[in-house]
């Protein structure tokens, strides 16, 4: 089953299984129960020999530690031990781990401008489009709501484009490179210029929208690149969402974007495709070390259970004096699938309500809210609203592990103020780090 939540005009869908289990866990548990029942009917005496191993398997799947199953924790621990130690990427695959197969493809759009597309096998072809948000501080609430509605309409439109795999919005903030020293005049004018330079150039923020088109095989890359270029030429509706659209990144811009993610204090320079990766990386259970920084990666554990106003995430994605990346990943659900999904949810909510009524049980406040939300979602979807799966990933960096504690504390406080619950991605630091780069990669859930 899955539930659909409404967030200011768009939907967030989250799957869940029996007793809080995921899909593979639920299937495995049901399969084991059915096999045990069948075996008991044929040879009951064999059950005594299978009690211990079957109980152990059930414990691996059912026992939860901080929300994760023992099987998932053991799998991640084994993976880290096998990949432990310091790894040095080579020139054939300059990026480590899950990004080792990444390629930067140079293409030209209809205007003849160079565009650097990212092809990541298993994820697709991605274009990075920098945008300049206008902000919500000095904007009337009705204008901000209009921007939010335009964003919802754009996401709904993507549900009718079967080739679109996902869209990500990545906000990077951190210390800005210091400009070269220049002589300033003496006196009051010089002191004012020095103060402005010291305060205004301390931090910087950059927002990038990523558009990913599916490309499962190498033969699909050419068609996927053409689809991405068509999407780039039709980004005018995005300008009604409160952002100014800049030209898509070229290959050197993409290389610099990736290089500065692994070396956050690197100044702006011209980077080549072979220089995108770090010199060395080291993944541990709760941190990810790369070049001159150590990072901690977080994932969205629990979204708000109510409509989100436009300024909800302002604190989380706002500028900081330490390197931080927050990436919201939207996976549009095809329109025909979304229609069946919301109808199924509405029918399930009404069935639960009728079932409790016939048993003579009073409806709880939770049941009433679920029924109301299911009906509202089905009604709005029938009027054209879209359904998207939403994920959020965050990465913060510090020069060393001693400084990392203060950085992670600040991030968790910002998430709490934004009504979100983030959890440290233990055992999956490298994968979540890659998810915050906006290159089309999304971590897979094995358990």
pLDDT tens track for 222-232: 899 999 999 99
pLDDT at 263 (0 to 100): 92
The model's pTM: 0.74
Q: What percentage of the chain reaches a pLDDT higher than 70?
A: 73
- Tokens 């699909």, residue located: 220
Those residues with Cβ within 8 angstroms of residue 156's Cβ, 6 or more apart along the chain or in another chain: 10, 384, 385, 386
As a whole number of Å, the end-to-end CA separation of the chain is 16
Asked whether residue 67 carries a pLDDT value surpassing 60, the answer given is no
Asked whether residue 219 carries a pLDDT value surpassing 60, the answer given is yes
Q: What digits encode the pLDDT tens for the residues 128-153? A: 999 999 877 778 888 888 998 898 88
Q: How confident is the model at residue 6 (pLDDT cuts 50, 70, 90)?
A: very low
Please list the alpha-helical segments (H only) found in 159-237: 188-200, 221-233
- The mean pLDDT of 389-410, rounded to a whole number, is 94
pLDDT at 275 (0 to 100): 79
Per the structure block, which two tokens stand in for 33? Answer: 């129960």
Please list the alpha-helical segments (H only) found in 159-298: 188-200, 221-233, 251-262
pLDDT at 403 (0 to 100): 93
Residue 19 zone, left/alpha/beta (φ > 0; ψ -120 to 50; rest): left
- The mean pLDDT of 365-381, rounded to a whole number, is 71
pLDDT at 199 (0 to 100): 52
pLDDT at 419 (0 to 100): 84
Asked whether residue 81 carries a pLDDT value surpassing 70, the answer given is no
List the helix and strand counts (H, then E) for the chain: 12, 16
Those residues with Cβ within 8 angstroms of residue 242's Cβ, 6 or more apart along the chain or in another chain: 133, 134, 136, 139, 144, 147, 150
Q: How confident is the model at residue 433 (pLDDT cuts 50, 70, 90)?
A: very high
Check residues 286 and 65 and name the one with the higher pLDDT: 286
Q: What percentage of the chain reaches a pLDDT higher than 90?
A: 31
Mean pLDDT across the chain, nearest whole number? Answer: 79
Check residues 188 and 156 and name the one with the higher pLDDT: 156
- Tokens 């990766």, residue located: 277
Q: How confident is the model at residue 59 (pLDDT cuts 50, 70, 90)?
A: confident
pLDDT at 17 (0 to 100): 35
Tell me how far the alpha carbon of residue 25 is from its chain's centroid. Answer: 23
Asked whether residue 14 carries a pLDDT value surpassing 90, the answer given is no
Those residues with Cβ within 8 angstroms of residue 166's Cβ, 6 or more apart along the chain or in another chain: 210, 212, 329, 330, 331, 332, 440, 442
pLDDT at 55 (0 to 100): 72
Asked whether residue 413 carries a pLDDT value surpassing 90, the answer given is yes
pLDDT at 196 (0 to 100): 59
Cα separation, 236 vs 386, in Å, equals: 19
Q: How confident is the model at residue 112 (pLDDT cuts 50, 70, 90)?
A: confident
Check residues 213 and 11 and name the one with the higher pLDDT: 213
What element of type H or E holds 298? strand 293-302
Asked whether residue 82 carries a pLDDT value surpassing 70, the answer given is no
pLDDT at 301 (0 to 100): 83
Cα separation, 235 vs 151, in Å, equals: 12
Q: How confident is the model at residue 7 (pLDDT cuts 50, 70, 90)?
A: very low
Please list the alpha-helical segments (H only) found in 359-400: 365-382
Q: How confident is the model at residue 159 (pLDDT cuts 50, 70, 90)?
A: confident
């Amino acid at each position: 089953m899955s539930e659909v939540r409404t967030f200011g005009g768009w939907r967030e869908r989250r799957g869940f299984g029996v007793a809080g289990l995921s899909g593979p866990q639920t299937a495995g548990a049901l399969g084991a129960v059915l096999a045990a029942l069948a075996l008991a009917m044929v040879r009951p005496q064999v059950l005594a020999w299978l009690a211990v191993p079957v109980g152990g398997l059930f414990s691996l799947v059912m026992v939860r530690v901080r929300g994760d199953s023992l099987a998932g924790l053991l799998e991640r621990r084994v993976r880290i031990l096998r990949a432990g130690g310091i790894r040095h990427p080579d020139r054939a695959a300059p990026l480590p781990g899950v990004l080792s197969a990444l390629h930067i493809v140079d293409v030209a759009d209809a205007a003849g401008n160079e565009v650097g597309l990212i092809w990541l096998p298993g994820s697709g072809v991605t274009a990075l489009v920098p945008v300049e948000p206008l902000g919500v501080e000095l904007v009337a609430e009705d204008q901000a709501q209009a921007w939010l509605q335009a964003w919802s309409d754009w996401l709904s439109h993507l549900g009718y484009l079967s080739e679109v795999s996902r869209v990500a919005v990545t906000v990077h903030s951190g210390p800005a490179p210091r400009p070269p020293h220049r002589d300033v005049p003496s006196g009051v004018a010089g002191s004012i210029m020095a103060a402005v330079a010291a305060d205004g150039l301390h931090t910087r923020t950059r927002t990038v929208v990523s558009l990913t088109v599916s490309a499962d095989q190498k033969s699909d890359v050419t068609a996927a690149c053409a689809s991405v270029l068509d999407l780039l030429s039709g980004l005018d509706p995005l300008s009604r969402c409160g952002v100014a659209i800049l030209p898509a990144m070229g290959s050197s811009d993409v290389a610099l974007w990736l290089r500065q993610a692994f070396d956050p204090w690197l100044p702006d320079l011209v980077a080549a495709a072979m220089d995108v990766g770090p010199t060395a990386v080291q993944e541990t259970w709760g941190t990810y070390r790369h070049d001159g920084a150590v990072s901690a990666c977080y994932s969205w554990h629990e979204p708000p259970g109510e409509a989100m106003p436009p300024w909800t995430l302002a604190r989380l994605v706002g500028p900081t004096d330490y390197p931080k990346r927050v990436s919201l990943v939207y996976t549009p659900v095809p329109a025909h699938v979304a229609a069946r999904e919301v109808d199924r949810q509405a029918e399930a909510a009404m069935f639960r309500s009728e079932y409790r009524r016939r048993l003579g049980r009073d409806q709880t406040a939770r049941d009433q809210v679920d029924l109301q939300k299911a009906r509202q979602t089905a009604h709005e979807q029938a009027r054209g609203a879209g359904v998207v799966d939403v994920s959020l990933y965050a990465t913060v960096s510090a020069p060393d592990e001693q400084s990392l504690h203060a950085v992670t504390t600040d991030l968790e406080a910002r998430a709490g103020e934004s009504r979100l619950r983030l959890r440290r991605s233990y055992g999956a630091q490298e994968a979540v780090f890659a998810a915050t780069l906006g290159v089309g990669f999304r971590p897979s859930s094995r358990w």
